[in-house]
Structure 1
Amino acid sequence: MELRLNLPKSNTYIASISGGVDSMVLLDYLIKENYKFIVVHFNHQKRDDANLDHELVQSITSSFNIPYKYFKLNIKSGNFQDEARKERYDLLEKVANEYKTSHIITAHHNDDLLETVLMKITRGSNLLGYSGMQEVTKINPFTYYKPLLKYSKADLISYANNNQVKYRDDSSNFEDDYLRNRIRHHVVPQLNEENDIYTRIRNFSRQVFLASDYIRSQTKSFLGERNAFSLTAFNSLHEAIKWDLISYLLEGYDVQKSYEKISNILKQLASKKPNIEIKLSSKYVLIKAYDLVKIKEFSSTKNDEKVPTLTISHKLSNNPNNSIELCYNELDFPITLRRRKNGDVLSFSYGSKKLKKFLIDKKVPKEQRDSLLIVADNKNRILWIPNLYINQTLGQNNKIYLELEEDNHA
Structure 2
Amino acid sequence: MKILDLKRRVLSSLKKVIQTDKTMILGISGGPDSMLLLELLKDQKIVVCHVNYNKRTNSMDDELIVKKYCEINQIPFFVKSIKKHHNKGNFQTIARNQRYDFFNKIANKFHTDILVLAHHKDDFLETAIMLEQTKRKTNFYGIKKNNTVFNLFVFRPFINLVWKKQILNINQLNKIPYGLDYTNYENIYTRNIIRNALLKESLYDKGLLLKRYLKMNKKLILEQQKINETLLLWKSQNYAQEFLLDQKDIATSLIFELINQNFDHVNLTSGKLENIYKFIISNNRTSVYKLDNNYCLIKKRGCLIL
TM-score by length of 1: 0.64
Cα shift at 1:284: 3.6
Conserved 8 A contact 1:135-1:149:
yes
The match for 2:34 is 23
CA offsets per residue over residues 6-26 of structure 1, 9 Å max, x none?
112333210001111100110
Q: Which residue of 2 aligns with 1:148?
A: 158
1:236 has 2:260 as partner:
no
Native 8 Å contact 1:12 1:37 kept in 2: yes
2:59 maps to 1:50: yes
Task: Indicate which of 258, 281, 285 corresponds to 2:292.
Answer: 281
Q: Deviations over 1:6-61 (max 9, x none)?
A: 11233321000111110011001002xx2111000010110111101011100110
Q: Are 1:163 and 2:170 an aligned pair?
A: no
Long gaps (5+) in structure 2: none
Comparing 213-222 with 109-118, greater Cα deviation is found at 213-222
C-alpha distance in 2 between matches for 1:145 and 1:236: 39
Aligned CA distance change for structure 1 residues 96 and 215 (closer, same or farther; 3 Å): farther
**Alignment counterpart, residue 7 of structure 1, candidates 6, 14, 19:** 14
Shifted more, 7-16 versus 232-241: the winner is 232-241
Match of 2:79 among 47, 63, 70: 70
The answer as to whether partners of 1:274 and 1:289 remain within 8 angstroms in 2 is yes
Which string of whole-angstrom CA distances, capped at 9 and with x for unpartnered residues, describes residues 322-380 of structure 1?
xxxxxxxxxxxxxxxxxxxxxxxxxxxxxxxxxxxxxxxxxxxxxxxxxxxxxxxxxxx
Q: Which stretch has the larger CA shift, 17-26 or 276-285?
A: 276-285
2:26/2:117 contact within 8 Å kept:
yes
* Residues 104, 142 of structure 1: 8 Å contact kept: yes
Per-residue Cα deviation, 1:252-276 (whole angstroms, up to 9, x for no partner): 2336222222210112223334343
Q: In proportion to residue count, which structure has more helix?
A: 2
CA distance in 2 between counterparts of 1:60 and 1:162 reads: 18
Cα 1:213–1:71, aligned 2, differ >3 Å: closer, same or farther? farther
**Alignment partner of 1:89 out of 84, 100, 104:** 100
Question: Helix, strand or coil for the counterpart of 2:46?
Answer: strand
Residue aligning to 1:41: 50
CA separation of 1:19 and 1:253: change in aligned 2, threshold 3 A: same
2:105 equivalent to 1:98:
no
Alpha-carbon distance, 1:154 to partner: 1.0
Distance 2:274 2:202 in 1: 31
Residue aligning to 1:306: none
Task: Indicate the residue corresponding to 1:186 in structure 2.
Answer: 197
Output one character per residue of 1:139-185: Cα deviation in whole Å (capped at 9) or x when no partner. Answer: 47421000000211011112112221111111111211111110111
Question: For 1:290-346, what per-residue CA distance to the aligned partner results, in whole angstroms no more than 9, with x for missing partners?
Answer: 422225xxxxxxxxxxxxxxxxxxxxxxxxxxxxxxxxxxxxxxxxxxxxxxxxxxx
Aligned 1:5-404 pairs, distance under 5 A: 5=10, 6-8=13-15, 9-31=20-42, 34-74=43-83, 75-128=86-139, 130-139=140-149, 141-150=151-160, 151-186=162-197, 189=200, 196-201=207-212, 203-204=214-215, 206-207=217-218, 210-211=221-222, 213-215=224-226, 217-218=228-229, 221-222=232-233, 229-237=239-247, 239-240=249-250, 242-249=252-259, 252-254=262-264, 256-259=266-269, 260-294=271-305
Q: Determine the C-alpha separation between the residues in 2 that align with 1:205 and 1:61.
A: 40
Task: Tell me by how many angstroms 1:212 deviates.
Answer: 5.9
With over 3 angstroms needed to count, the CA separation of the structure-2 counterparts of 1:282 and 1:166, relative to structure 1, is closer
CA distance in 2, matches of 1:70, 1:22: 18
Letter in 1 for 2:91: F
Aligned-CA RMSD value: 2.7
Residue identity over aligned pairs, in percent, reads 25
Q: TM-score, normalised by structure 2?
A: 0.84
**Separation of aligned partners in 2, 1:101 and 1:205:** 34
Work out which of the two has the higher radius of gyration on C-alpha atoms and give 1 or 2.
1
Contact 1:215 / 1:240 at 8 angstroms: preserved in 2?
no
The alignment of Structure 1 onto Structure 2 pairs a total of residues equal to: 291
Structure with the higher strand share, 1 or 2: 1
Q: Is the 2:33–2:119 Cα contact (8 Å) retained in structure 1? A: yes
Name the CA shift for 1:257/1:160 in 2 (closer, same or farther; >3 Å): same
> Cα–Cα, structure 1 residues 86 and 223, in superposed 2: closer, same or farther, change >3 Å?
farther
Structure 2 partner of 1:355: none
In structure 2, the residue matched to 1:313 is none
